[in-house]
Amino acid sequence: MHLIFQCSYAKEVWYAIGQYFHINWCDSNEIVDFLHIWRTADIGDSKLALFPMLVIWFIWVAINDHKYQILDTVPSTSISHILAYFTMACRTFGFSGNSANPRVGRMATLTKWQPPPIGWIKVNFDGSWVSSAAGAGGVFRDHLGKCLCFFNSPIVASSPLEAEYWGFLLSFRVSISCKFSQLLLETDSLTIYKDFGLTNMSKWNVLGIWNRIKTLSEKYNLSIVLSHVFQEGNSPADWLAKPGKVLGNLIVDVSPPHHLKRLLHSDSLDFPFVRR
């Protein structure tokens, strides 16, 4: 029971869940204690009485992932999955955010990575910008969620939007070099998503990049679908873009480093992330 209740990982998860629901677990270390505290908190009804067992299960999964799959699990991932399942349970049983727990605010939005159709490649891309440096990154996956390749690169950008557009352009360039022709591109930039359907670009600072994207798409006869996802569903690309700021040149690889592998593994699980 030490691993489920008293190790540092478990304590952080239980503490965060307690904070979210305004519950004091009182340093409990027995399953029956957690079930009793949850029931007396009067959250939802009897259909949610075993919710602490879900917390235990996710902690157990994380511990096993770390031990047997050599994955660097982090408490925030387990916490997000747990709250996502709580939200889904409330919706399934017809609870609103307030009726499930008056002390909890609006219900969370659920977001998750979705695989592309068979024969298509999904490309999640992102840009990262600060005044002194900028980077872009992206990851290519098939319908099984397998990482086919990924890239990150330093870029020259004058704004966050320009950095995002560089991620878009580099996704095209890498796709062409890898001979990927059916692309489902996904961005957390709502501006790029809205811009893509325009015939003419009015934003002068990204006009050059926009024109290059259009030219590559037409020249290589690429089949393109662009979708929008919240940042929580784009974490591998976000992680790749940030170190791109300090690289010397574009890097394309097929073997994900350890942390990227963990993020991809989280995406491959059928668990949504919570956007609050």
Mean pLDDT of the chain: 83
Q: What percent of the chain has pLDDT over 70?
A: 83
Angle, alpha carbons 218-113-157 (nearest 5°): 55
Q: 3-state class of 155 per DSSP?
A: strand
Would you state the pLDDT for residue 3?
A: 75
| Residue of 210, 212, 208, 268 lying closest to 235 (CA atoms) | 268
Per the CB < 8 A criterion, the answer to whether 183 and 169 are in contact is: no
Question: Residue ranges per domain, the chain?
Answer: 2-107, 121-271
Rg (CA), the chain: 21
Dist. CA 49–CA 51, nearest whole Å: 6
Q: Which long-range contacts (CB under 8 A, 24 or more apart) does 168-174 make?
A: 168/125, 168/192, 168/209, 168/213, 169/209, 169/212, 169/213, 169/216, 170/125, 170/136, 170/138, 170/250, 171/123, 171/125, 171/138, 172/213, 172/216, 172/217, 172/222, 173/216, 174/138, 174/140, 174/149, 174/252
For residue range 6-44, list pLDDT tens digits in order: 788 888 888 888 877 777 776 666 788 777 777 777 665
0.85 exceeded by pTM: no
Distance of alpha carbon 183 from the chain centroid: 19
Please count the other Cβ atoms lying within 10 Å of the Cβ belonging to residue 119.
Answer: 10
Q: What share of the chain is helix, strand, coil (3-state, %, to 5)?
A: 50, 20, 35
What fold does the segment set 121-271 form as a domain? Nucleotidyltransferase; domain 5 (3.30.420)
Give the tokens for residue 35: 């079930």
d(CA 183, CA 16): 38
Query: For the ranges 50-54, 80-84, 214-218, which has the lowest average pLDDT?
Result: 80-84
Convert the pLDDT of each residue in 217-254 to its tens digit.
999 999 999 998 888 789 999 999 998 888 889 999 99
